[in-house]
Structure 1
Amino acid sequence: MQVTTKAIIFSSLKYGDTSLIVKAFTESDGLKSYLLKGVLSSKKGKLKAAYFLPLMQLEIVAVHKNKGTLESIREAKVTVPYKTVHTDIVKNSIVLFLAEMLGNSIQEGEQDEALFNYLEYALCCLDEFESNPNFHTLFLLNLTKYLGFYPDASFQDEPYFDLLEGSFCKKPSLNPLIQGENLECFKKLLGINFDAFPTVRMNKLQRQELLKNVILYFELHLHGFRKPKSLAVLNAVFE
């Protein structure tokens, strides 16, 4: 079946000398994988390799056979021409990290319009706003709303947050916990959006610890989740 849909690129992997295997989250069908034959050698075709950089926002004309095999893309055009995302070294590092996190977190399945709309909005914020070292952590925390395990913000006065239970608690358990100064940083990001960044203050060590806890939160709640290899690069950029 031929479909025309918006799509956000998660990854592209070179296949042979001239082709790419691309994973994209589509508005119409959720996560799909495509084989783009000859795209690296074609100069006059309707598909250009530059369209398939991480987190590019496209409109594609694709053929979805839905048989568990790689699909195909016939046409593609950029819907959101980024101004800074792929040219600002800090933002580009964030993009590579978030693309890997999304690829590790979202499974092939059915359409999820709310999740697609969130990704679309958040990536436009990343492009338009000044670089912020808390962006990716808030992005991931808010992403959990759509993945089904957003923290229960009730009882925030309690001294611990249980990462396995996803809630605040009065007494420590054997589960991984956020507590003390790290808990105060965690609470700063609960319930806010990207335009509230000027109100959030953390030092480098606090940001790194918070991000480490958020990644662990994903690991505890998503079966088969793999820690991102790009985390070390991201941390180096914010040194």
Structure 2
Amino acid sequence: MQKKSLGIVLTYIRYRETSILVTIYTKSSGIKSFIENGVRSAKGKHKMALFQPLNLLDLDLFLKDKGLCRISEAKSAYPFKETPYNIYKSSIALFLAEVLYKVLKEEEENVPLFDFLEEKIKELDQIKTGLENFHIYFLWELMVFLGIFPETMHEMFSQLGNRSPELEAMMERLILRGQVEGLNRKIRSEMIQVLLDFYHLHLESLGEIKSLDVLHEVLS
């Protein structure tokens, strides 16, 4: 079946000498895996730069019910101005792409979720202040679309054993009230870990997030 769709690149792996297997979250059909032949050669129809994490693409697709699909045409739907060239933004993009790759499994249309992700990807590229908290807000808001959103901050901490009332209060001030006073690298790292632990509690597919150490190092 041939279909046009927007897509968000999540990850790719090298395949044979010049090809890749790329996982894309499509607006029309959810998660799909594609084989892209020759992309790592000089004569390839599409260039590797198109398939970097969180790239937004306009796609012409050949979709299958089973197995790998193919991409007929691919072009950028949103040329980044900063994300690939800013180590802070590119590290956040890599982290978020890995999380999304682990938690998005549905092979069906979900327009509200796709629109949310598209908006956030553009926001990351354009943001001038508050970058250090962007991924915290993102993980909190994404829970709504994954069906695991807690009714209150206290409920989330209670499910995790309510390990730190002080951290709970700081997360509530940051996420629910937008108050950022007194935050530092250590506290932000603890907040991210709380959110990831909550994801782990409800989503077995999450597993280890390998890019987390890189993110902490870059944002330190």
Per the normalisation by structure 2, the TM-score is: 0.93
Contact 2:30–2:110 (CA<8 Å) still a contact in 1?
yes
1:147 paired to 2:146: yes
**Alignment match, 2:59:** 60
What's the secondary structure of 1:124's corresponding residue?
helix
Q: How many residues of Structure 1 are paired with residues of Structure 2 in the alignment?
A: 218
Trace 1:40-189 onto structure 2 (pairs within 5 A).
40-43=40-43, 45=45, 47-67=46-66, 69-130=67-128, 132-153=131-152, 160-163=154-157, 165=159, 175-189=160-174
Query: How far apart are the structure 2 equivalents of 1:75 and 1:187?
Result: 45
Bigger shift: residues 106-115 or 92-101: 106-115
Alpha-carbon deviation of 1:177? 2.2
Q: Where in structure 2 are the equivalents of 1:7-46 lying within 5 Å?
A: 7-43=7-43, 45=45
Matched, 1:200 2:200: no
Q: Higher relative CO (CA 8 A, sep ≥ 6), structure 1 or 2?
A: 2
Question: CA separation in 1, counterparts of 2:78 and 2:175?
Answer: 28
**5+ unaligned residues in a row in structure 2: which ranges?**
none
More helix per residue: 1 or 2? 2
For structure 1, the 5+ residue unaligned runs are 166-174
Partner in structure 2 of residue 223 of structure 1 = 204
CA RMSD of superposed structures (Å): 1.7
* Counterpart Cα distance in 1 of 2:214 and 2:156: 28
Secondary structure of 1:177's match?
coil
SS where residue 8 of structure 2 aligns? strand
Shift of 1:213: 0.4
- Kept in 2, the 8 Å contact 1:34–1:72? The answer is yes
Pick closer, same or farther for the CA change 1:49–1:16 going to 2, 3 Å: same
SS at match of 2:3: strand
CA distance in 2 between counterparts of 1:147 and 1:62 reads 26
CA distance in 2, matches of 1:100, 1:235: 15
